[in-house]
Chains A and B, each alone.
Chain A
C-alpha cells in the first residue's frame, strides 16, 4: 500500500516525540500533515498570503511564483522555504508574520494540492512560540507607530534603526535603551545638539562647485567620501570623489532635526521614549 511508509514515519515521529530528547517532549507537538482538518486550517491562510494577486495563484495554480499544485514535495523543505523565503527573489519568509502552526498548516494544504506522494508525513511544532519578541505596553505601541509612521516625512525611522527596523544614518537605538534615562532620551530628541553620539558627529564637505554639504559620514577612502546629506529628508547618501572636494571639516551641531519638541506633544514624546525603552 502506497501510504504505509508514511504511517511508519508518523509512528517514528510519535515515538520520538514521546520518548525522544527530553526537552522536546515538553515543547514540541507532532502534526499529522495528512489530516484534512489540519490542512483546511491552511486554506484561508494560503488564500490571503500565498494565492494573492500575482503570486502563486488560486489553489496554487501558478503565478509570478511557481505552480504549487500537482507536485511532489518534501514536507520539511517546503516548510522551511515558506518559513525562511528564498533570498534575492520575491519569495519572502513568513516567520515574522505567521506562527509555526500557520506555516505547517499551509504546508499541509499545499501537500494536499499535490500528487499525493510526499514525505515526511509529519511536522514538528515548537510550542509556546511567539511572533512578536515582546508584547508592548499601549504607550510603547503608540510610540512605535509614531516612530515608523510612513505618513510623517520626518519620522525617526528615516535615520534610526531599532530592533532590526529602520535606517542606519543615525545611531542604532536598540542598545540605547539600557544606557539612557528617560530624561536623557528626552533631551536627545528635543535638543539634539546638547550631546552628540560618538561616531555621529557632523561632517561638512566643501565641494569644488561651491556647495557645502553637511551630514553624517558613512565611509571614506583615498578615492571618495560618502556622506548622508541630512539637510534633506529622506537623506540621500552622496558620494564625493577626491577631485571634487575642496575641504572637509567638522561641527559640534547635531545632524538630527531640531523640531521634535514642537512637532510632538509631551505625551507623544513620552510614548516614543517608552517605545525606545521597551526593549530587552
Chain B
C-alpha cells in the first residue's frame, strides 16, 4: 500500500478491455506456475520414494525397486509402499543373477554376501530416456522451452536420486560389515538380515519369467493364470500409450476421440485388466509391521516351531532351507487373499507340515505330509486382494487426455500449415517429412526465436498491467 502513488492518474478506464485480457492471462499464468510447482514437488517425492533404504524393510525385501529396468518407473510410489507394508504386494527384493539348487548353505551364503545389493550399480542419469513425444515444435515454442527446462530439472533430480541411492548402499555395506564383526551386531543393526533370514528367503529362489533374475519364491501371482511375477516387473507393466484404432497409422490420426487406451493385458495369458495377488510368507514376518527385526529372525527361536538339533548333522543347515522349501510350496500357485479363513487354515496346516519336515530333516524330499495348498483358481480383477496395474498407475487418464489434446493441436497445426504457403513439396508429403523439412531449412528455428521474444514481451506487459490493475483496485477500495 502507498507505493507508486503517481500512477493513480492513469485511471482504470483507459485500458478496460486490454486490462481484463492481461489480467486473465496473468491469472492463468500464476495458476500454471502454481500447478507446475505442485507437479515438481510431487516428482521430488516420487523420486525420493524410489530410493532403496535398507532400514525400510518388509520380510527381508524393500519398498523401492532394485533398478533392473533402466528407466525409473512411473508407478504411484505411495500406493505401492503402502501395499507392500500391508503385505498385499511382494516387497522389492534384491535379485540374484544366478542360482543353483545344488549349492550348499555355506555356498549360498557366500553368494548372497557377495551379490545382494540394494540397487543396480553403475546407474547414471544418462540412461534415462526422457519422454519427448510432443514433437510438433512449430507454433509451440513456449511449451518447447518449458519442456527443455523441465527436462533439465528432471535430470538433476535423477542425479540427486542416484547420489542418494549410492549413499544408502554405502551405509548398508558399512552396517552389514559392522553387524557381522561387532559383538552385539544384531541389536546395533537390527535391520541387517540374519543368515537364517537370508537362507529362508533365498534357499529356494525362483526365476521371474519376465526379468530372468532370481527372487525368493513368494512372488506375486497373476490373478488370471497364476504365473509368478516380481514386483519390479509388475510396476513396469502399464497400459499401452494411447493409440489410434488398428488401421490408422499413428501420424495420420486426426480424431482425438478415437484414441484408445486399454488396461494392460496379462503378459502370460493376455487376459485384459492385468492384476496380481500376493500371499506373504507364512513364517517370515520381519521389519515394518512385522513380528521381529530382520536381524533377530532365527529358525531356532520361533517357539511355535518344534525344532530339534540334528544328530551328528552331516547337513547342518537344512533347516533354513526347509523353511524356504515350505514357503515355496505354500506359494506355488496359491496367492489367495490374505486374512481369509482359508489362509488361516493353510497357515496352520503348513506350519504343522513344516514341523514334521524339519524333524525329518528332509527339505528336499517331495513326498511328505506337507500338502501344497489347492490352486486358487482365476480371480476377477475386482476380487478382494487383487492389485491391478491401473490401481498403481492411476495417471493413465491424464495421459489419454494429453494424447488427445496433442492430436487436436496437431491437426489444427497441420491445417494451418496447409493454408500457409510453407509447403514446398507436393501433397504426398507426410507429416514427418514436413517436420524434417522445417528442421533442415531452419525456418522453425527462426520462428521459435521470434515467438519467444513475442511471448517474453507479452509477459512483461502483462505483469506491468497487473501491477497497475492491483493498484487501481486498491485505489477504488480507498486503501
Does A pair with B? Answer: no
- The chain B residues found within 8 Å of chain A, CB to CB, are none
A contact set with B: CB distance below 8 Å: none
